[in-house]
Amino acid sequence: MSKLIHILTVKFHVISRKIISTIFAISLTLAMIPRAHAWDEYRNETGEFEGVGTYYNPSFGSFTKYVLGVEGKKAQDLADSGFFGLYVGCDTGEKVVRLQYARFDPKSKDYWTARPLAPIQRTQVKFGNQKPISWKVSSPEWFDESRTAYSRIFFSNPTLFVKKLSLSGSVSLPINAERLDYTAKFITKGFKAYNSSFKEAGCD
């Protein structure tokens, strides 16, 4: 009986060491994997933090960074159909959330120029897998003097918007740009990584 107990005890210790080794190996692997953030950070000429942005192209979906001069289908889709940008910025101590649409223009010194968005007062915003929420939007400026389109839209109650955005991992909404209907979907995971940057910039 004592021999059986000894054998079981040895097997238990061997299995325990294997489990601990496996857990340690998994933990080490996870620690080595860099955190994936879906945001592109913006800083001004003096290096001060201004906010973050993430993007959506109607042809291939959401993305985080774009580079001019790179060949490939995505680069061509980006040049052909432009992109929607969702930005969270810091303005006079408050977070501001805005969305705009831009198209590539080789004649422009900035290359990417804002394109018209249909003027709206509310839109259906979907955070993650939750049901869409009717959200009020506005714009302090028009796209042109005819006042038939916005150059960008701002989401009301940005503090609540950012809170929901931080918890969801994605945001989608219908939007009309240049008289065409789209559903823009942004991957927004990893926003919490920038909380300290917003705090340092004066936006809690």
- The whole-number pLDDT of residue 103 equals 92
Q: 3-class DSSP state for residue 166?
A: helix
CA gap 98, 50 in Å, rounded: 13
Task: Give pLDDT tens digits for 5-59.
Answer: 444 444 444 444 443 333 333 333 333 333 445 899 999 889 889 999 999 999 9
Q: Are residues 47 and 17 in the same domain?
A: no
Task: Give pLDDT tens digits for 130-180.
Answer: 999 999 999 988 998 888 999 999 999 999 999 999 999 999 999 999 999
pTM: 0.79
Q: What is the DSSP string of 24-54?
A: HHHHHHHHHSPPP---EEEE-TT--EEEEEE
* Predicted confidence band of residue 198 (pLDDT cuts 50, 70, 90): very high
- The whole-number pLDDT of residue 15 equals 40
Task: Give pLDDT tens digits for 84-139.
Answer: 999 999 988 889 999 999 998 888 777 888 999 999 999 999 999 999 999 999 99
- The whole-number pLDDT of residue 91 equals 85
- The whole-number pLDDT of residue 67 equals 63
Q: How many domains, in total, are found in the chain?
A: 2
Q: Are residues 25 and 103 in the same domain?
A: no
DSSP E strand boundaries for the chain: 40-43, 49-57, 61-63, 83-91, 94-104, 112-115, 122-127, 133-138, 153-155, 170-177, 180-187
Q: Are residues 69 and 88 in the same domain?
A: yes
Q: Are residues 45 and 128 in the same domain?
A: yes
* Predicted confidence band of residue 1 (pLDDT cuts 50, 70, 90): low
Task: Give pLDDT tens digits for 54-83.
Answer: 999 999 999 887 665 677 888 889 888 999
Q: Which residue range(s) make up the domain with 155?
A: 40-200
Q: Are residues 128 and 190 in the same domain?
A: yes
Q: Are residues 110 and 13 in the same domain?
A: no
- The whole-number pLDDT of residue 37 equals 57
